[in-house]
Chains A and B, each alone.
Chain A
């Protein structure tokens, strides 16, 4: 890694600067949404359905309204008066805010109680009497598409089945031909189950409608405040909410991971309640509501075929997927990508022929299709290609590392056009894998494994060499509801040389207040300590699409660099004026312009800033500020190689991760400490679905795993001591050469774990195990193979 260009005092790129946001967090002085209390504020709680599919025959609110403190009960009928009982989803589908006729999943919102305190609101919820007439439940997406299956979306007049969309990409015929001509084809059905981000802070808001001024302020747990403002204006324009009188404030956010992108009914009901009552209304989910009703991730039923020559050269990849979207397609994807960026499924390999198709079905489950810390279905794609690659190695009796090295897109082929249409900007895959193999001691581990097998001990080594696709995205392809996926930064340099920088994104723990300040420091030489970063208030920050899909650094970070460069251009003019030389005679080093050949003749950025307000040349506008709306020319393609070593207990089926080595390449690094922290966290959210987490449903649509009693978020005990390292392959098109890193590890880790477990059991004839790989699943396999310890 190259040395930082700036001194530690300035703290530009490459410095492991302590985080600027931490002084408030370590004192318990963060300001999360539930910390906000406004005068006269009342509380909202939600009545939810016990049935997965049922007609609502009556809602009796009388008893609830008699409870002391209960002010109002809102039902679908209340909202229907304002035509607010349905709302659009980001994927041009529709979602109920509150039902008027029937419920479509267990835990769906049925009515809302507003009361003077949260206990009274909960009492009110208990007292609302709802009568239901149960309807047939459709849980399995395959059955949902069978002829004769009950049609769920009876609200859509012409809908005759439960099919949502068909999407395909690639060369179907060419791929069929390539597979037919292959020496070997490996095939596998892979289910990637429903999981939930389970950020430790749940979702919520305080909606505050000021009747006198006609202004709505909503403090809400959102990763995309600006887009939310526009959505509110579009959805509720007909009841008088106009965009200039809507202010969305995203306060400190206790983890997002994609779960705080969608607009949930609770937000909308709280807004409606505040408008109706003229009081601030607080709505905060509890954990069970969070897990049972908020957007899920994954739920892809995948069928994959990979062809190869005898020597292991991959020839073709064909993937057919059925996506379970629940009762509405509320995926948080760019609008033109119903299956997100699943077409990154050729991964790190030079596969000439590929074809992928996804069909989606309605079922009686909560809506969603969010990312769980990934860039729109990239995790599903990576799991598929990395799992099937290991199966190919097993079939050909090749070492999985050697098979990968044989098929990697060679470093000299970048930029590389993939069979499914992406232009990978840069990469050096062999370097990352070899580094990971060196660190873990790959050859020695293989020897150890062979010896252990002789003794009947189960140990496995799993590799994942993933490629991500992040930083959405170029405006020619990427929009959400028509809003192009640019992002923004506005920088104002004050007369004394300090600055404020505002961005269109919103940190949920990523450390933007620090890393963005470091970007400004890198470009302007103003110490990062003197750069205040603000985000999340739509009244002050420039418009942007928000933080998800690892887009903050690739898009908003780039905007920060570009805005700073505009400021530097003006600063150069000011410096030339102050030094009485031509601009062409000036050179820049972080923090000052100096005269070429006479470095003692210099003006610091602070002196220049002062002059911008006190001594600017005639004809030049005063001030030193700039704004940039950055439209990335391409996506970025972070990559890495992970190696996981597991030991399996033959008595219990428990998988113990002994070691986990992660070599990541996210291009140039802004803050190494923060990058490592992101990877540690991502790895933990990677082993979670591999071994522990799943939200499943019984045949009646009853949720299993709807609280932290059943939904197993890894603790410090299961989580291994991460070993991380880097290679650095800068992005050629990003102004800072950065690529984004927040999600790499979540995307890359699950197949490393799954491959390690299968590797440990391969000699018993095991080829594949669906995640989560629970002790029960492993123990059943061991028992079946006669390998369980009694």
Chain B
């Protein structure tokens, strides 16, 4: 099997890795770089537990090859907190009880982060559409919607971006 040397910048830190052609991005993150906050929930790009940002866009890292991410900026859940301060999205999920088992949470938060980058004050419908590629089995979504609304309000007040 061919191997490739790739460079990825994850949460601001550059990593060089020698990877098989077929290695999935999610396995690069979890097994090689040991950033286990990104989870795996299905194999068909439906559940969104593995959502990370690839050059700012949310992608499902279970269906991206690591080699496709060569030269890219990647952001994972571990990159949300800055200098010991929680990101408003993290704060919102905690404050509004937007998580229960916590398994879908990292992917859900990354999708939320990307949404708020694009649409700072989304409507409830926009939020529901945006997270419709992220499945949650515990919360019934209502408190996730509230968590994202909390984060949007917090950011509008001039919190972290």
Whether B136 is near chain A, meaning CB under 8 Å from some CB there, is yes
Structural contact, A719 and B101, CB atoms closer than 8 A: no
Kindly report which residue of chain B lies nearest to residue A711, judged by CB atoms: B46
Structural contact, A708 and B36, CB atoms closer than 8 A: no
Complex Cα–Cα for A673 and B103 (A): 19
Query: Which chain B residues border A18 with CB–CB below 8 Å?
Result: 94-95, 97
Interface set, chain B 69-115, CB cutoff 8 A to A? 76-78, 80-81, 86, 90, 93-95, 97, 99-106, 109
Complex Cα–Cα for A31 and B109 (A): 18
Structural contact, A28 and B106, CB atoms closer than 8 A: yes
With A34-B40, A708-B42, A716-B141 as contacts: A200 and B95 at CB distance below 8 Å = no
Of B2-10, B127-135, B152-160, which stretch is located at the interface? B127-135
Partner of A716, one of B93, B106, B145: B145
Query: Which chain A residues border B22 with CB–CB below 8 Å?
Result: 119
Structural contact, B36 and A28, CB atoms closer than 8 A: yes
Partner of A681, one of B90, B100, B102, B106: B100
Complex Cα–Cα for A275 and B29 (A): 30
Interface set, chain A 708-737, CB cutoff 8 A to B? 708-709, 713, 715-717, 719, 721-722
CB distance from A681 to the nearest CB of B (A): 5
Query: Which chain A residues border B95 with CB–CB below 8 Å?
Result: 18
Q: How large is the interface on B (under 10, 10 to 19, 20 to 34, 35 or more residues)?
A: 35 or more
Complex Cα–Cα for A22 and B96 (A): 11
Structural contact, B41 and A200, CB atoms closer than 8 A: yes
Structural contact, A680 and B90, CB atoms closer than 8 A: no
With A18-B94, A253-B101, A254-B101 as contacts: A28 and B44 at CB distance below 8 Å = no
Complex Cα–Cα for A685 and B139 (A): 10
Structural contact, B97 and A26, CB atoms closer than 8 A: no
Interface set, chain B 28-59, CB cutoff 8 A to A? 30-31, 34-44, 46-47, 49
Structural contact, B131 and A716, CB atoms closer than 8 A: yes
Structural contact, B39 and A201, CB atoms closer than 8 A: yes
Complex Cα–Cα for A30 and B102 (A): 7
Whether A422 is near chain B, meaning CB under 8 Å from some CB there, is no
Kindly report which residue of chain A lies nearest to residue B130, judged by CB atoms: A716
Interface size of A in residues (CB-CB distance below 8 Å): 59
Structural contact, B37 and A28, CB atoms closer than 8 A: yes
CB distance from B77 to the nearest CB of A (A): 4
Query: Which chain B residues border A681 with CB–CB below 8 Å?
Result: 100, 137-140
Complex Cα–Cα for A722 and B78 (A): 31
Interface set, chain A 103-121, CB cutoff 8 A to B? 118-119
Query: Which chain B residues border A682 with CB–CB below 8 Å?
Result: 140
Whether A429 is near chain B, meaning CB under 8 Å from some CB there, is no
Structural contact, A27 and B78, CB atoms closer than 8 A: yes
Partner of B100, one of A509, A715, A716, A717: A509
CB distance from B34 to the nearest CB of A (A): 8
Whether A35 is near chain B, meaning CB under 8 Å from some CB there, is yes
Could you write out 22 A-B pairs with CB less than 8 Å apart? Answer: A18-B97, A25-B99, A29-B37, A34-B39, A200-B47, A200-B103, A200-B135, A255-B100, A255-B101, A255-B137, A509-B100, A676-B143, A680-B141, A682-B140, A684-B137, A685-B137, A707-B44, A713-B135, A715-B141, A716-B145, A717-B132, A719-B141
Structural contact, B102 and A509, CB atoms closer than 8 A: yes
Centre residue among B36, B43, B76, B103 by max chain A CB count within 10 A? B103
Kindly report which residue of chain B lies nearest to residue A511, judged by CB atoms: B100
Partner of A28, one of B38, B40, B140: B38
Query: Which chain B residues border A677 with CB–CB below 8 Å?
Result: 97, 100, 138-140, 143
Whether A510 is near chain B, meaning CB under 8 Å from some CB there, is yes
- Mark each residue of chain A from 13 to 53: 1 if its CB lies under 8 Å from any CB of chain B, else 0: 00000110111111111111011010000000000000000
Partner of A708, one of B27, B47, B129, B139: B47
Partner of A257, one of B90, B109, B137: B137
Structural contact, B143 and A680, CB atoms closer than 8 A: yes
Structural contact, B99 and A26, CB atoms closer than 8 A: yes
Structural contact, A200 and B99, CB atoms closer than 8 A: no
Whether A198 is near chain B, meaning CB under 8 Å from some CB there, is yes
Complex Cα–Cα for A119 and B26 (A): 13
With A32-B103, A202-B41, A255-B137 as contacts: A717 and B129 at CB distance below 8 Å = yes
CB distance from A287 to the nearest CB of B (A): 4
Whether A522 is near chain B, meaning CB under 8 Å from some CB there, is no
Complex Cα–Cα for A511 and B143 (A): 15
Partner of B132, one of A118, A200, A286, A716: A716
CB distance from A401 to the nearest CB of B (A): 25
Kindly report which residue of chain B lies nearest to residue A254, judged by CB atoms: B103
Kindly report which residue of chain B lies nearest to residue A715, judged by CB atoms: B132
Whether B142 is near chain A, meaning CB under 8 Å from some CB there, is yes
Interface set, chain A 673-717, CB cutoff 8 A to B? 673-674, 676-685, 707-709, 713, 715-717
Query: Which chain B residues border A292 with CB–CB below 8 Å?
Result: none
CB distance from B84 to the nearest CB of A (A): 11
- Mark each residue of chain A from 173 to 207: 1 if its CB lies under 8 Å from any CB of chain B, else 0: 00000000000000000000000011111100000
Structural contact, A255 and B141, CB atoms closer than 8 A: no
Complex Cα–Cα for A510 and B106 (A): 18
Query: Which chain A residues border B37 with CB–CB below 8 Å?
Result: 27-30
With A27-B81, A510-B100 as contacts: A717 and B94 at CB distance below 8 Å = no
Complex Cα–Cα for A713 and B80 (A): 28
Whether A288 is near chain B, meaning CB under 8 Å from some CB there, is yes
Kindly report which residue of chain A lies nearest to residue B136, judged by CB atoms: A200
Structural contact, A27 and B128, CB atoms closer than 8 A: no
Structural contact, B137 and A199, CB atoms closer than 8 A: yes
Interface set, chain A 187-244, CB cutoff 8 A to B? 197-202
Q: Which 10 A-B pairs have the closest CB atoms?
A: A28-B37, A509-B101, A254-B103, A25-B102, A680-B140, A28-B77, A708-B46, A509-B100, A684-B140, A287-B42
Centre residue among B37, B41, B81, B93 by max chain A CB count within 10 A? B41
Q: A27-B37, A255-B103, A676-B97 are in contact. List 4 more A-B contacts (CB 8 A).
A: A200-B41, A288-B43, A677-B100, A681-B140
CB distance from B96 to the nearest CB of A (A): 9
Whether B67 is near chain A, meaning CB under 8 Å from some CB there, is no
Structural contact, B49 and A721, CB atoms closer than 8 A: no
Partner of B142, one of A32, A34, A674, A721: A721
With A200-B136, A674-B97 as contacts: A26 and B128 at CB distance below 8 Å = no
